[in-house]
Structure 1
């Protein structure tokens, strides 16, 4: 990321709605779909020419961690908000859908006669599963471990804003420092052979969130960078292709090994810079009024459904893997990928319309009144 020091310009006005930077909403869909195709590849089987790009699609989680920090910083920087109001908004945003999808996932486990352990299940509903090794895969809904991390991010977010306000003149330095600390953390944790610390532990994953926060503040402050949008997309694609080459070179072709220096671990940890480039490049193009290919009504709708898509798709693929014999025919695998991904998308749309959106709308005004700024007061991004 090269800072354009000579051109600090004011941030362009954007419409005061939840899609104030609409391309980021569109990107959410592609990140969620990356996770969906990762599950398809893992639980249905590989497809020549496609699996190569989604083999390490778990990177979508890293994208969401960075994006979460960026969007929250964009929405709340220089906007006094009492912590109880902020925390209630976040609860309203994630918890209703989380509870419903966790209950659905438990239903799938019952159908499979494979209920998870009681401690892990209770830990899931308390959003504690990322804090205990081996709980991530054993809870009520395995992908929801990321919400355990997000809950921690939300808890420390007001403190991050205080630190950023105190060091306002040194925000760029803090961003570079956060990226440097990530590299050092990877080296230290890798040397200790502790993959869980890198992959799951909320305190270390918070570095990815912090990078997003700092970038969001800098953009809100009017800072711009010379980042080519097309090259940012190419960097993300090239990174995923490079991970496959990494696994061939370092891991002997083994795709999913917990060696901290493996391609599997790097896929989640070292993806932060390339996703940061893409997020900033897309946001800047929106603020400048330039096209990104991500702002159509269809893309925005798919982006709104992406949270539900992320939470529901794994249980659908899990049920397929349990009840269906391995599919050897490539054509049938392609059809299975399409059918299961389509079913996941339909389920996500229904969950958004029936649970996520109405529950959030109701809860946001239930205790603190209408806490969203009036039109023209603040340009909102969907949180």
Structure 2
């Protein structure tokens, strides 16, 4: 992957995170209705961008490195948990400490009462399996991790395992995931297929740049003419299982269309021969580093702010909220790097110990 294209993906990742933040500023009325008219409500489309991008990057990184399944699992777990776990614990601790002074009782108060169940539950990303629809208190965007983490696991099984064991483990993971994750799996896996088929349909640079522009124009037209609303209604009408709620997957037809447009954009960007100064590439890499902390922590800040100061819901303090989000993002990002390194080191030692223990057990069995 060349430097300019890698920087482009970094910028897309950061822009997608910002779109989610702006969408939530509108949805939770942090900004006034007059201000909201200038804010794009593209939160769902941004999550689809993340899904396609995630599948693409995972396929690239896994095929470019000599890894075992254990190394892959340790790397992915450290990447996720170094940000998600501290914020999950902070959300529960913060809500518990502040519940006595909150303006209104927490609607997720039942999670606090049974924190010993819900913290492990959310730590294992079980909130979107089958008919479950549980998001941790004060962590609005956490639902998407309930999809992405399971897609990581499925990809690892399919990539690293072979033969009957591979099929059995993949079938088990799919069975655990449930229908909502099945519905959006093609969106995520489209990124994997894009990486693997990147050389099969080559484009001239001029055509590739035109394709990039066309994908953006089509996506804007889709939102401007409310294609997302129409397809959401159509998706409900098409869904044949009334007893199985769609929940967070209810926009699946629109997600497929947006996923195709994102796929077109990325494929064209691969062949567009973009140029980017080195300083811009470095800046994009820094922004991308803070993308995941920004994506998760802004929900914690907004929810906490509204719980303590309901007047903010009238749009009186958007600047203060945004500054709080920026500060929290920087703190979460600063903590994530050393924590990730420690988790990876601990995970590698655990894998080495398990490998040596397994080898010793086989030796004993042979004797």
Do they superpose with TM above 0.5? yes
SS in 2 for 1:131: coil
Instruction: Find 2:294's aligned residue among 274, 293, 309.
Output: 309
- Structure number with the higher helix fraction is 2
Residues 8-29 of structure 1: CA distance to partner in whole angstroms, max 9, x if unpaired? xxxxx635xxx97111111111
Alignment of 1:68-87 (within 5 A): 68-77=54-63, 79-87=65-73
> Relative to structure 1, is the Cα distance of residues 349 and 328 closer, same or farther in structure 2, using a 3 angstrom cutoff?
closer
User: How far off its partner does 1:32 sit?
Assistant: 0.6
Alpha carbons 1:120, 1:135 under 8 Å: kept? no
User: How far off its partner does 1:368 sit?
Assistant: 3.4
Report 1 or 2 for greater relative contact order, CA contacts < 8 Å, sequence distance ≥ 6: 1
Alpha carbons 1:102, 1:141 under 8 Å: kept? yes
Residues 102-161 of structure 1: CA distance to partner in whole angstroms, max 9, x if unpaired? 112223433245234234443112211111535333557342222222221111113444
Alpha carbons 2:85, 2:123 under 8 Å: kept? yes
Alignment of 1:360 with 2:348, yes or no, is no
Instruction: Find 1:224's aligned residue among 179, 189, 202.
Output: 202
Alignment of 1:341 with 2:322, yes or no, is yes
Alpha carbons 2:21, 2:298 under 8 Å: kept? yes
Alignment of 1:156 with 2:154, yes or no, is yes
Q: Please report the RMSD computed on the Cα atoms of aligned residues, expressed in angstroms.
A: 3.8
Alpha carbons 1:27, 1:294 under 8 Å: kept? no
Task: Quote the residue 2:131 is aligned against.
Answer: 133
Alignment of 1:1-383 (within 5 A): 14=2, 21-44=6-29, 45=31, 47-48=33-34, 50-51=36-37, 54-77=40-63, 79-110=65-96, 111=98, 112=102, 113-114=105-106, 115-117=109-111, 118=114, 119-137=117-135, 141-161=139-159, 201-219=180-198, 221=199, 223-225=201-203, 226-227=207-208, 228-243=211-226, 247=229, 266-285=253-272, 288-291=273-276, 295-326=280-311, 333=315, 336-354=317-335, 356-368=336-348
User: How far off its partner does 1:74 sit?
Assistant: 1.4
> Relative to structure 1, is the Cα distance of residues 277 and 32 closer, same or farther in structure 2, using a 3 angstrom cutoff?
same
5+ residue gaps, structure 1: 1-12, 164-195, 252-257, 370-383
Normalised by the size of structure 1, how large is the TM-score?
0.67
User: How far off its partner does 1:100 sit?
Assistant: 0.4
Task: After the TM superposition, list the runs of 4 or more consecutive aligned residues in structure 1 that deviate by more than 6 angstroms.
Answer: 248-251
Instruction: Name the CA distance, whole Å, in 2 between partners of 1:72 and 1:328.
Output: 38
Instruction: Name the CA distance, whole Å, in 1 between partners of 2:250 and 2:34.
Output: 20
Instruction: Name the CA distance, whole Å, in 1 between partners of 2:323 and 2:348.
Output: 38
Q: Say which one has the larger Rg.
A: 2
> Relative to structure 1, is the Cα distance of residues 81 and 290 closer, same or farther in structure 2, using a 3 angstrom cutoff?
same
Alpha carbons 1:37, 1:54 under 8 Å: kept? yes
Q: Count matched residues.
A: 306
Instruction: Name the CA distance, whole Å, in 1 between partners of 2:151 and 2:80.
Output: 13
Instruction: Name the CA distance, whole Å, in 2 between partners of 1:141 and 1:53.
Output: 21
Alpha carbons 1:23, 1:292 under 8 Å: kept? no
Task: Quote the residue 1:255 is aligned against.
Answer: none
Alpha carbons 2:56, 2:193 under 8 Å: kept? yes
5+ residue gaps, structure 2: 162-176, 234-244, 350-367
Instruction: Name the CA distance, whole Å, in 1 between partners of 2:313 and 2:305.
Output: 15
> Relative to structure 1, is the Cα distance of residues 103 and 367 closer, same or farther in structure 2, using a 3 angstrom cutoff?
closer
Instruction: Name the CA distance, whole Å, in 2 between partners of 1:146 and 1:207.
Output: 15
Instruction: Name the CA distance, whole Å, in 1 between partners of 2:196 and 2:309.
Output: 48
Instruction: Name the CA distance, whole Å, in 2 between partners of 1:132 and 1:234.
Output: 35
> Relative to structure 1, is the Cα distance of residues 295 and 208 closer, same or farther in structure 2, using a 3 angstrom cutoff?
farther
